Structure 1
Amino acid sequence: MYSINAHAKVNIFLKITGHKEDYHTLVSRFMRVEDLYDTIAFVPCECDSFTIEGCEDVPLKSNTIYKAYKALNEHTGDLDILNFFYKHKVVVTKRIPSQAGLGGGSSDAAAFMRLVKEACNLLLSTEELAQIGSRIGADIPFFVYNYPSANVSGFGEIVHPFEEAPLKLELFTPDIG
């Protein structure tokens, strides 16, 4: 079984600098939250199609993990990915609250991509994974790079590590999205 933690993030600051079509440009600092994460696992299973458990409230085609799966397939054309997911299902253990601005879905997709790279021995650089992820969501490149803290700009595709002491955070997330 393969497994990886997908950490939440907070925005230390966020400035929307413009927009193009349906997307906005930004300047922000993201910081990973070390003690809040979902877990993504690839569990052996004979599957007829790509299967995700643990995200039943999100339709498959809207799920960022599924979008990452499709994007990796399209980018690589690697049949090892398809074959792997006929023999494994994706199991998500959710701990990051949905719609709380903590990047849970994006983190899950990025962690999924990093784990697929390992499980299927993909010859993709971290930069290539981040670029593939940037087509799915603006937060995904940050999570692909897996920096503790980073300055992020553009549509989220420009990510530079930022050295700072981790903040001690206490998060409060109301039951509204």
Structure 2
Amino acid sequence: MRRAPAPAKINLSLVVGPLRDDGKHEVATVLQRVDLGDCVSLSAAPVLDVVGFDGDTIVRAALAALARRAGVEPRWLARIAKAIPVAAGLGGGSSDAATALRLANDMLPEPLAVDDLAAVAAEIGADVPFFLRPGPQLGTADGTVLAPLDLPQDYWVVLVLPDGAVKASTADVYRRFDERDGMRGFEERRAALVDALAAARRARDLATLPGNDLASSPLAGALLEHGAFRADVSGAGPSVYGLFLEQRRAEAAARTLRTVGRTWVTAPFRDG
């Protein structure tokens, strides 16, 4: 059996533009993994099966797609131990799928090349290729074109999942974005993102990144009031994150905000 962590992610910035010819939106997003994660185990099996999380579809789809691309039968048993909240904007399903892909690929007699594995991941979901790469990444085009970023990692992250929050479908979130003509000024916001990334030397510099074009939350303001130097919604939500320079302030904020939802204190995920 092989086992590996499947870390969550936050979007440190999410700039969204017009609808593309392929029906997806142009985006520019800064993706950062954090040290809250699921665990995925993989072993050989007579047939493909996924256990541990009854709601899974993405891990099964990813492994089936890998088998088709590699020309083999999908004979794996995947076990998922969940810690990332489901449908929270933290990429748990995508991370599980990427981890399962990486483990299964390593078990193949002839593993796929890095680019071929990334192509399989992109078929499954826009965030899945990101989880195959180390460190923070800038995602462009539909989010699957990735470039590594050298960003500060010396901060703490408070995650808040509001009680009773229900994640809207991605299609509905983008539909509302289009209805309010959210794409206006995309080129300027994307340029501001590039400039802010180039100037980021200290953790506090991440506060200058453009915010989330898709979603907002009053909890971001609450996190700022409790000492965060940056706070925003992750992805399409509903989870909100705050970045803190000091662990004690992060922990104090998390304790206070437990009255409104589940909270976690974590940090950027370090490979190895």
- The alignment's TM-score, normalised by the length of structure 1, stands at 0.84
Q: 1:121 to 1:8 in 2, by over 3 A?
A: farther
Unaligned residue ranges in structure 2 (runs of 5+): 168-272
8 Å CA contact 2:41–2:78 kept in 1: the answer is: yes
Rg larger in structure: 2
CA distance, structure 2, for counterparts of residue 43 and residue 116 of structure 1: 8
For residues 108-123 of structure 1, the aligned pairs below 5 Å read: 108-123=96-111
Tell me which of 62, 69, 76 is aligned to 1:75.
Answer: 69
- Of 91, 102, 119, the residue aligned with 2:79 is 91
Structure 1 unmatched ranges of 5 or more: none
Q: What is the match of residue 7 of structure 2? A: 7
Give deviations 1:30-54, integer Å, cap 9, x for gaps: 0010x2011000246x55x321112
* Residue number in structure 1 paired with 2:146: 159
Measured against aligned partners, the alpha-carbon deviations of 1:8-58 in whole angstroms (never above 9, x if no partner) come to 11000001122235422211000010x2011000246x55x3211122134
Q: Is the CA contact 1:131–1:157 (under 8 Å) kept in the aligned structure 2?
A: no
8 A contact 1:141–1:156 mirrored in 2: no
Paired with 2:140 and 2:114, the residues of 1 have a C-alpha distance of 18
Q: Secondary structure at the match of 1:171?
A: strand
Residue 30 of structure 2 is matched in structure 1 by 29
Count matched residues: 163
- Quick check: which one's strand share is greater? 1
Cα displacement (A) at 1:71:
1.1
Distance 2:81 2:109 in 1: 24
SS in 2 for 1:68: helix
Which whole-Å CA distance do the structure 2 matches of 1:43 and 1:78 have between them? 15
Higher normalized helix content (fraction of residues): 2
Name 2:54's counterpart in structure 1. 56
**SS of equivalent residue, structure 2 residue 157:** coil
Residue of structure 2 in register with 1:66 after alignment? 60
Q: Report the CA distance between 1:113 and its aligned residue.
A: 0.5
C-alpha distance in structure 1 between counterparts of 2:110 and 2:161, whole Å: 37
In the TM superposition, what whole-angstrom CA distance separates every residue of 1:91-117 from its partner, at most 9, and x where no partner exists?
100001111101100011111110011
- Among 114, 117, 137, which residue is 1:129 paired with? 117
Asked if 1:170 is matched to 2:171, the reply is no
* Separation in 2, partners of 1:23, 1:108: 23
CA distance in 2, matches of 1:18, 1:127: 27
Q: Which residue of 1 aligns with 2:192?
A: none
TM-score, normalised to structure 2, is: 0.56
For 2:125 and 2:5, the matched residues in 1 are separated by 19
2:130 pairs with 1:142: yes
Contact between 1:7 and 1:104, CA under 8 Å: does it hold in 2?
yes
Q: Is the 8 A contact 2:42 2:104 kept in 1?
A: no
CA distance in 2, matches of 1:29, 1:12: 5
Task: Report the CA distance between 1:154 and its aligned residue.
Answer: 1.0
The answer (yes or no) to whether the contact 1:32–1:149 under 8 Å persists in 2 is yes
